[in-house]
């Protein structure tokens, strides 16, 4: 057990790896009533093709998400969601492109709930009947996403940006793809990906790290299980597969998603540093205090829900810029014009310093939002970085570095845009 | 957490909670006005126009640069509909001094909020027309974009139809027609009049003492005009359904999934509302993962991915929403009705009741872990005229009986149904 202290942040982090390979992270939060536990596997929508024993297996789109839904059924016919809820906890789960995470938040009975969490996620139980029933529920979930202009716009962007990397597919799959899922495929996926050595347990709250470790040791299998071998296909070109997508839906005004594939270091602290640099560069380019945002806002081309982020999943790092605008092309043109100006005039050190401070404050506030904090901790653990390192890393960037990043990574040739236009 | 409440000036109040557990402090400054179709869009526009520029920070970029320099402090317009009270103002959060290389964060934030309220960027005493014109367009865009979220859109259309003759039909952003008519001269007048005549609520949560914060706000708001204050603010609670049978409204949209929204009057329980019991009633019906709607409409019948209910304790309205296939309107509606009937008949198991009580108590007990949740909770308590803490409410929820839940269910009246369906479906 290793304890890391961050006195300037008022934080402590306890890390431990069990002999079965499970990594455990605990961030004690004295004074808080709420405690959050998350048990996550490095397995998501993008992990469609993998090796089991000596053969490669191809699975239908949406299977990781389907498996997530079915983890709550127990062999005795009970449903864990109901059991945890009956104790007053708020349990839930989510599936991303690269991870599936099961979590609960509670103010009471934390250790009993933790036992339940560890138990059910390591107990696969699927029947023909329960799989059939879930197909109806998930079909409605997929229809809900199909109705959401934001979700459609995002996935259209990923489809044109990436030629074949599976992050381009909807994590939930399609109504057709999930129809072919059987209990056997689910058992295979659980066997390959739900091994202690492929998982991370993370707790944030006023909890005792030793008790958390003891629970995991007591409940989980003692063997690490096999190391999953997954296939995301050939490396992607740095250029988008297609540049444009247009769709019509019932929306008030056009919604746009712009994206750029980023060529980031493979893993570890370098990858974290790279992502942070990309975020800072975006803050400076398009954040609330940028000339770009304020000009476009004043011209009526952007609204307050304009935003951007850097997505990092399954080895694919993507810069996303999204918003609503009556003229998305004008927004894109203005963006590249600004970058062009930076490359000629050089960076503004004072403005960059303000962005760095703003980012510091934002990351600091994030330490009180348990589910987001726990999410950053376990993802970092899977990818070889420590979420609390961002505070030190932030001090090390220069305005020149951010400007250089923008000019080289964000060019018209590398960008793609998906637009949802009002129908009719 | 020390609770502190004091009157800073006539009808200007501060609620302050002192705690060291958060990385960030929280401060809000809110005017309370009566929700009304005529004035809602104007009132909603005020904080957005004020946020465009002050006398010393003349445009939005200058304000944002100032906030970035304050280590990412945020001061954002916040417009809420609390029953039929329209709460408009600013919500701010900012890092606590002890995590920063310099101090004075709260002082700076309060000074900025005071300037936003009292010292806008004006020309000849009037808001800049370009700011008002631009915020009118943004407000219209925001109103029009509400339809992009199909679920909340269906609930909104339900309320607009169900409460057509009540101010409650108006959204927090106001109506599009009224927003269309925003004009800088009228808006400046409305701003001055509203500022002088509305009760104002400040909320603070952070490491400083209530007395200190009160003093800082007093000096930042020294020039706040105080005229005849509107003390008659309130929400008109309608007890019964408008017609004997629920009114049914249907609309078409180019969608792949229907949204069924059902609206009820909470009825007789609103005569002397027992909030804890109403919360538990809602949790048993459709407010948590063990609820009747979740277990039956979703898990047993596989009709949907979501089916849940929500109660407005100030207005006495219950709504249900569920995303379903177009041809499942009848079975879904019948099942939702059947579950409410079961509750009226007292069919509430010990397990259902106990899980619902725990869900309610658990969510209340988590409120003191989030400054923003505390802010919203205490503003609602002010409107209800109580200072009960989340813990007090949680304790009450734990004592609710099955009979009191059934009693509430018996008083509930179905008033309207709204179905959003596909074109030609």
Closest residue in B to A251 (Cα) is: B148
Same domain as A389, residue A282? yes
Same domain as B393, residue B347? yes
Q: What pLDDT is recorded for position A391?
A: 97
CB contact under 8 A, B368 and A33: yes
Same domain as A248, residue A363? yes
What is the per-residue pLDDT across B184-240, written as a single tens digit (0 to 9) for each? Answer: 999 999 999 999 999 999 999 999 999 999 999 999 999 999 999 988 899 999 999
Nearest to B288 by CA among B267, B260, B307, B273: B307
Report d(CA B202, CA B209) in Å as an integer.
Answer: 14
Domain count along chain A: 2
What does the pLDDT average to over B95-99? 97
- Cβ proximity of B182 and B45 under 8 Å: yes
Burial of A235 (C-beta count, 10 Å sphere; 0-12/13-18/19+): exposed
Helix (H) or strand (E) holding A91: strand A90-95
Q: Is the pLDDT of residue B425 over 80?
A: no
Residue environment code for B51-69, b if the CB has 16+ CB neighbours within 10 A, otherwise e: bbbbeebebbbbbbbbbbb
Does residue B225 lie within any of the structural domains?
A: no
Report d(CA B271, CA B267) in Å as an integer.
Answer: 8
- Cβ proximity of A134 and A66 under 8 Å: yes
Using 50, 70 and 90 to split pLDDT, how confident is the model at A303? Answer: confident
Report d(CA A91, CA A85) in Å as an integer.
Answer: 7
CATH number of the domain where residue B6 is located = 3.30.830.10
Q: How far is B144 from chain A (nearest CA, A)?
A: 6
Q: What pLDDT is recorded for position B398?
A: 97
Q: Is the pLDDT of residue A226 over 90?
A: no
Helix (H, G, I), strand (E, B) or coil at A97: coil
B67, B99, B129, best to mutate vs chain A, most A CBs in 10 Å: B99
Same domain as B99, residue B38? yes
Report d(CA B103, CA B244) in Å as an integer.
Answer: 63
Same domain as B260, residue B326? yes
CB contact under 8 A, A367 and B23: yes
- ipTM here: 0.90
Which of A:253-282 have CB within 8 Å of B?
253, 255
Q: What pLDDT is recorded for position B10?
A: 95
Residue B16 burial (CB count, 10 A) = 24
Helix (H) or strand (E) holding A112: helix A110-121
Helix (H) or strand (E) holding B66: helix B60-69
* Residue at which a domain ends, from B179, B205, B220: B220
As a whole-number percent, the residues of chain A with pLDDT over 90 amount to 91
Does residue B162 lie within any of the structural domains?
A: yes
Q: What pLDDT is recorded for position A50?
A: 94
Q: How far is B256 from chain A (nearest CA, A)?
A: 6
Same domain as B172, residue B26? yes
Does residue B332 lie within any of the structural domains?
A: yes
Of A297, A324, A362, the CB nearest to B145: A324
Using 50, 70 and 90 to split pLDDT, how confident is the model at B302? Answer: confident
Beta bridge partners of A20: none
What does the pLDDT average to over A10-31? 97
Same domain as B279, residue B209? no
Angle at B296 between CA B290 and CA B301, to 5 degrees: 140
Does residue B232 lie within any of the structural domains?
A: no
Q: Is the pLDDT of residue B24 over 80?
A: yes
Does residue A137 lie within any of the structural domains?
A: yes
Nearest to B340 by CA among B269, B264, B278, B416: B264
Strands A415-422 and A244-249: parallel
Using 50, 70 and 90 to split pLDDT, how confident is the model at A415? Answer: very high
CA distances from B78 to A14, A199, B27, B329 (A): 38, 40, 12, 36
Q: What pLDDT is recorded for position B137?
A: 95
Q: How far is B25 from chain A (nearest CA, A)?
A: 9
- Residues of chain B found within 8 Å of residue A361, distances taken between Cβ atoms: 24, 70-73, 94-95
Helix (H) or strand (E) holding A83: helix A80-86
Structural domain of B312: 247-422
Written as six digits, the tokens of B138 are 């943004």
Of A141, A304, A361, the CB nearest to B73: A361
Question: Which residues of A participate in catalysis according to the annotation?
Answer: 68
Does residue A177 lie within any of the structural domains?
A: yes
Same domain as A212, residue A94? yes
Report d(CA A171, CA B399) in Å as an integer.
Answer: 43
Same domain as A418, residue A312? yes
Report d(CA A269, CA A275) in Å as an integer.
Answer: 10
Question: What is the pLDDT of chain B when averaged over all its residues?
Answer: 96
Residue holding tokens 């909020």? Answer: B113
- Cβ proximity of A285 and A335 under 8 Å: yes
- Residues of chain A found within 8 Å of residue B130, distances taken between Cβ atoms: 298
What is the per-residue pLDDT across B139-196, written as a single tens digit (0 to 9) for each? Answer: 999 999 999 899 999 999 999 999 999 999 999 999 999 999 999 999 999 999 999 9
Same domain as B85, residue B214? yes
- Residues of chain A found within 8 Å of residue B255, distances taken between Cβ atoms: 147, 250
Same domain as B40, residue B162? yes
What does the pLDDT average to over A130-146? 91
Same domain as B87, residue B125? yes
Report d(CA A64, CA A44) in Å as an integer.
Answer: 5
B23, B69, B284, B295, best to mutate vs chain A, most A CBs in 10 Å: B23
Does residue A259 lie within any of the structural domains?
A: yes
Q: How far is A357 from chain B (nearest CA, A)?
A: 4
Same domain as B299, residue B209? no
Whether chain B has a CB inside 8 Å of the CB on A251: the answer is yes
What is the per-residue pLDDT across B237-289, written as a single tens digit (0 to 9) for each? Answer: 999 999 999 999 999 998 889 999 999 999 999 999 999 999 999 999 999 98
Does residue A236 lie within any of the structural domains?
A: no
Whether chain B has a CB inside 8 Å of the CB on A349: the answer is no
Closest residue in A to B26 (Cα) is: A365
Does residue A196 lie within any of the structural domains?
A: yes
- Cβ proximity of A254 and A420 under 8 Å: yes
CATH number of the domain where residue A402 is located = 3.30.830.10
Helix (H, G, I), strand (E, B) or coil at B111: helix
Same domain as A139, residue A275? no
Using 50, 70 and 90 to split pLDDT, how confident is the model at B62? Answer: very high
Which of A:130-159 have CB within 8 Å of B?
133-134, 136-138, 140-141, 143-144, 146-150
Same domain as A296, residue A327? yes
Does residue B64 lie within any of the structural domains?
A: yes
Does residue A344 lie within any of the structural domains?
A: yes
Structural domain of A223: 2-230
* Residue at which a domain ends, from A182, A197, A230: A230
Does residue B127 lie within any of the structural domains?
A: yes
Does residue A133 lie within any of the structural domains?
A: yes
Does residue B236 lie within any of the structural domains?
A: no
Angle at B64 between CA B59 and CA B66, to 5 degrees: 100
Same domain as B189, residue B55? yes
Q: What pLDDT is recorded for position B299?
A: 85
Closest residue in B to A8 (Cα) is: B99
B302, B308, B350, best to mutate vs chain A, most A CBs in 10 Å: B302
Backbone angles phi, psi at A88, to 5 degrees: 90, 0
What is the per-residue pLDDT across A204-217, written as a single tens digit (0 to 9) for each? Answer: 999 999 999 999 99
Report d(CA A135, CA A137) in Å as an integer.
Answer: 6
Backbone angles phi, psi at A201, to 5 degrees: -110, 130
Beta-carbon contacts of A45 under 8 Å, excluding residues fewer than 6 positions away, are A61, A62, A64, A65, A95, A96, A97, A166, A167, A169, A170, A171, A172, A173
- Cβ proximity of A275 and A294 under 8 Å: no
Does residue A150 lie within any of the structural domains?
A: yes
Residue A187 burial (CB count, 10 A) = 14
Q: Is the pLDDT of residue A384 over 80?
A: yes
Domain count along chain B: 2
Q: Residue B328 half-sphere exposure, CB side, CA atoms within 13 Å?
A: 20
Of A86, A87, A252, the CB nearest to B147: A252
Q: Chains A and B: how many Cβ contacts under 8 Å?
A: 187
For helices A349-366 and A399-409, angle between their N-to-C axes, nearest 10 degrees: 90
* Residue at which a domain ends, from A189, A205, A230: A230
Same domain as A207, residue A135? yes
Does residue B25 lie within any of the structural domains?
A: yes
Q: How far is A90 from chain B (nearest CA, A)?
A: 7
Same domain as B215, residue B170? yes
- Residues of chain B found within 8 Å of residue A253, distances taken between Cβ atoms: 141, 144-145
Closest residue in B to A283 (Cα) is: B68
Q: How many helices (H) and strands (E) does chain B have?
A: 15, 13
Q: Is the pLDDT of residue B294 over 80?
A: yes
* Residue at which a domain ends, from A179, A200, A230: A230
What does the pLDDT average to over A386-404? 96
What does the pLDDT average to over B319-331? 95
Written as six digits, the tokens of B136 are 């009118």
- Cβ proximity of B310 and B246 under 8 Å: no
Whether chain B has a CB inside 8 Å of the CB on A355: the answer is yes
- Residues of chain B found within 8 Å of residue A138, distances taken between Cβ atoms: 305
Same domain as B315, residue B405? yes
DSSP B169: G
């Amino acid at each position: 057990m290793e304890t890391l202290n961050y006195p300037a942040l008022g934080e402590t982090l306890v890390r431990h790896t069990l002999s079965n390979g499970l990594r455990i992270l605990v961030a004690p939060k004295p004074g808080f009533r709420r405690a959050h536990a998350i048990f996550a596997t490095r397995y998501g929508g993008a992990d469609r093709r993998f090796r089991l024993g000596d053969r490669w297996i191809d699975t239908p789109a949406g299977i990781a998400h389907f498996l997530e839904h079915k983890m709550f059924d127990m062999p005795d016919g009970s449903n864990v969601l109901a059991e945890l809820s009956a104790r007053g906890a708020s349990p839930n789960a989510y599936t991303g492109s690269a991870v599936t995470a099961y979590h609960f938040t509670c103010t009471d009975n934390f250790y009993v709930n933790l036992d339940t969490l560890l138990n059910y996620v390591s107990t696969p139980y699927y029947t023909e009947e329960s799989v059939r029933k879930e197909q109806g529920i998930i079909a409605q979930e997929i229809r809900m996403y199909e109705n959401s202009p934001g979700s459609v716009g995002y996935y259209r962007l990923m489809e044109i940006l990436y030629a074949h990397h599976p992050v381009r597919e909807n994590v939930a799959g399609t109504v057709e793809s999930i129809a072919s899922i059987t209990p056997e495929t689910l058992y295979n996926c659980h066997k390959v990906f739900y091994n202690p050595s492929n998982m991370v347990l993370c707790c944030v709250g006023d909890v005792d790290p030793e008790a958390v470790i003891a629970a995991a040791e007591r409940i989980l299998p003692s063997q690490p299980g096999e190391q999953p071998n997954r296939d995301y296909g050939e490396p992607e070109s740095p250029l988008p597969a297609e540049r444009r997508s247009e769709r019509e839906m019932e929306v008030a005004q056009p919604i746009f998603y712009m994206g750029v594939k980023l060529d980031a270091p493979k893993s570890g602290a370098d990858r974290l540093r790279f992502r942070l640099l990309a975020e800072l560069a975006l803050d400076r380019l398009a954040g609330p205090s940028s000339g770009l945002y304020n000009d476009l806002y004043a011209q009526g081309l952007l609204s307050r829900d304009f935003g951007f982020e850097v997505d990092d999943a399954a080895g694919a790092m993507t810069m996303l810029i999204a918003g609503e605008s009556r003229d998305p092309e004008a927004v894109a043109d203005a963006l590249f014009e600004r970058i062009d100006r930076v490359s000629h005039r050089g960076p503004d050190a004072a403005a960059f310093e303000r962005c760095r401070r703003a980012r510091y404050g934002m990351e600091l506030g994030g330490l009180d939002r348990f589910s987001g904090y726990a999410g950053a901790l376990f993802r970092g653990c899977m990818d070889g970085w420590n979420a609390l390192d961002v505070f030190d890393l932030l001090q090390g960037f220069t305005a020149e570095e951010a400007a250089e990043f923008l000019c080289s990574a964000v060019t018209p040739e590398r960008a793609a845009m998906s637009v949802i236009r009002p129908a009719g | 957490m020390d609770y502190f409440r004091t009157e800073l000036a006539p009808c200007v109040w501060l609620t302050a909670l002192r705690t060291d557990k958060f990385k960030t402090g929280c401060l809000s400054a809110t005017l309370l006005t009566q929700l009304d179709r005529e004035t809602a869009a104007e009132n909603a526009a005020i904080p957005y126009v004020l946020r465009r520029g002050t006398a010393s920070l003349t445009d939005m970029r200058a304000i944002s640069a100032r906030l970035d320099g304050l280590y990412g402090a945020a001061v954002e317009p916040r417009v809420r509909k609390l029953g039929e009270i329209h709460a408009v103002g600013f919500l701010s959060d900012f890092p606590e001094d002890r995590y920063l290389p310099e101090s004075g964060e709260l002082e700076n934030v309060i000074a900025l909020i005071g300037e936003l309220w009292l010292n806008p960027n004006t020309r000849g005493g009037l808001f800049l027309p370009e700011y008002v014109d631009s915020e009118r367009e943004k407000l219209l865009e925001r109103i029009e974009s509400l339809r992009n979220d199909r679920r909340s859109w269906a609930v909104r259309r339900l309320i607009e139809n169900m409460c057509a003759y009540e101010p409650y039909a108006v959204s927090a952003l106001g109506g599009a027609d009224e927003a269309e008519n925003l004009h800088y001269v009228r808006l400046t007048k409305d701003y001055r009049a509203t500022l002088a005549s509305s009760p104002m609520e400040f909320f603070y949560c952070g490491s400083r003492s209530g007395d200190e914060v009160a003093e800082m706000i007093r000096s930042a708001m020294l020039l706040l005009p105080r005229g005849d204050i509107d003390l008659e603010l309130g929400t008109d609670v309608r007890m019964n359904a408008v017609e004997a049978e629920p009114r049914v409204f249907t609309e078409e949209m180019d969608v792949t999934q229907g949204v069924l929204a059902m609206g009820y009057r909470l009825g007789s329980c609103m005569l002397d509302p027992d909030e804890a019991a109403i919360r538990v009633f809602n949790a048993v019906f459709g407010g948590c993962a063990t609820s009747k709607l979740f277990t039956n409409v979703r898990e047993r019948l596989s009709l949907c991915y979501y089916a849940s209910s929500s109660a407005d304790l100030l207005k006495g309205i219950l709504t249900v929403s569920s995303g379903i296939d177009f041809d499942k309107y009848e079975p879904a509606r019948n099942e939702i009705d059947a579950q409410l009937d079961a509750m009226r008949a007292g069919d509430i198991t010990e397990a259902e009741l106990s899980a619902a009580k725990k869900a309610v108590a658990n969510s209340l007990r988590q409120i003191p872990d989030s400054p923003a949740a505390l802010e919203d909770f205490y503003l609602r308590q002010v409107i209800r005229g109580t200072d009960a803490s989340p813990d007090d409410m949680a304790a009450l929820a734990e004592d609710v009986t099955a009979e009191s839940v059934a009693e509430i269910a018996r008083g509930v009246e179905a008033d309207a149904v709204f179905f959003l369906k596909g074109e030609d479906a």
